[in-house]
């Protein structure tokens, strides 16, 4: 069964979170949202999912304020963050490009990313574009730091980075990424060329697991119609043919 690039990423993220008990997904995150719902559907244990864009899959009634409270209380295992730029120390930039405050281009801003980065035990960084433009040696502005000094209490932080080409693990002690796998059809050399920061690379780098036919069927028949309700454009683009008979 053929697999679209988005479906591969959904499956890969689902594998990273399948042992969790509460996964939260913020705004404009359809791929992590699909992955969380897929992992929930496959879990043999209680697996709560909070998707802020969804009415059905959202435990909170007061928006982000309740999300932040739950995270600060240690009631969320995993959260997802992205960035206009991400660097080799897992710092993220959501503010803008150029020398602050005279930025060449300004973006929406950090919102609650710094808080979530500090208190959620497992933060997965996600960015589909994998290029030296997005994965940089040093971010232009630190919206949320990947690591902190030992005297700062910080139960949360980066766990992995998932891109359109590969998956990296993050070593908090060494403050450094390590290549975990490359996606089918991508070489290690291509990942090195497309990454603006240095990272550790094992001698043998595996290929990211291709989703099974059963997992793809569940994703398309069960998860896609649910996601269509709060990410309709994404669902139509990725699952269009399957949705014709289910929505």
Reference 169, options 183, 182, 155, 180; nearest CA is 180
pLDDT band at 133 (very low <50, low <70, confident <90, very high): very high
Query: Is it the case that residue 41 has pLDDT exceeding 60?
Result: yes
Least confident of 4-18, 127-141, 153-167, 228-242: 228-242
User: Which pLDDT does position 247 carry in this prediction?
Assistant: 44
Residues, the chain? 247
- So where are the chain's domains? 5-243
Reference 31, options 105, 98, 129; nearest CA is 129
Furthest-apart CA atoms within the chain: distance in Å: 56
Query: Is it the case that residue 220 has pLDDT exceeding 90?
Result: yes
User: Which pLDDT does position 55 carry in this prediction?
Assistant: 79
What does each C-alpha distance from 68 to 48, 65, 76, 117, 139 come to in angstroms? 16, 5, 10, 11, 25
Strand partners, 170: 177
User: Which pLDDT does position 243 carry in this prediction?
Assistant: 63
Q: Cβ distance 164 to 225 under 8 Å?
A: no
Least confident of 68-82, 107-121, 155-169, 230-244: 230-244
pLDDT band at 46 (very low <50, low <70, confident <90, very high): very high
Query: Is it the case that residue 189 has pLDDT exceeding 90?
Result: yes
pTM above the 0.85 mark? yes
User: Which pLDDT does position 242 carry in this prediction?
Assistant: 62
The CATH homologous superfamily to which domain 5-243 belongs is Glutaconate Coenzyme A-transferase (3.40.1080.10)
User: Which pLDDT does position 194 carry in this prediction?
Assistant: 98
Span 38-56, average pLDDT = 92
Q: Residue 122 is inside which H or E element, if any?
A: strand 122-127
User: Which pLDDT does position 241 carry in this prediction?
Assistant: 66
């Amino acid at each position: 069964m053929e697999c679209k690039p988005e479906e591969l990423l959904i499956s890969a993220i689902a594998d990273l979170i399948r042992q969790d008990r509460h996964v939260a997904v913020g705004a404009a995150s359809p791929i992590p949202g699909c992955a969380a719902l897929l992992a929930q559907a496959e879990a043999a244990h209680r697996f709560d999912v909070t998707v802020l864009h969804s009415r059905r899959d959202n435990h909170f009634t007061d928006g982000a304020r309740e999300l932040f409270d739950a995270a600060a209380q240690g009631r969320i295992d995993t959260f997802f963050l992205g960035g206009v730029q991400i660097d080799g120390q897992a710092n993220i930039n959501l503010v803008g490009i150029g020398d602050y405050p005279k930025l060449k281009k300004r973006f929406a801003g950090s919102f609650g990313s710094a808080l979530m980065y500090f208190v959620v035990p497992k933060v997965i960084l996600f960015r589909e574009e994998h290029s030296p433009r997005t994965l940089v040696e040093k971010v232009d502005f630190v919206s949320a730091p990947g690591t902190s000094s030992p005297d700062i209490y910080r139960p949360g932080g980066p766990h992995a980075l998932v891109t359109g080409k590969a998956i990296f693990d993050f070593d908090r002690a060494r403050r450094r990424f390590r290549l975990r796998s490359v996606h089918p059809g991508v070489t290690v050399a291509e990942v090195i060329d497309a990454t603006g920061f240095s990272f550790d690379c094992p001698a043998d780098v595996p290929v990211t697991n291709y989703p099974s036919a059963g997992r793809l069927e569940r994703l398309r028949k069960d998860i896609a119609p649910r996601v269509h309700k709060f990410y309709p454009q994404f669902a139509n683009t990725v699952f269009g043919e399957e949705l014709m008979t289910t929505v």
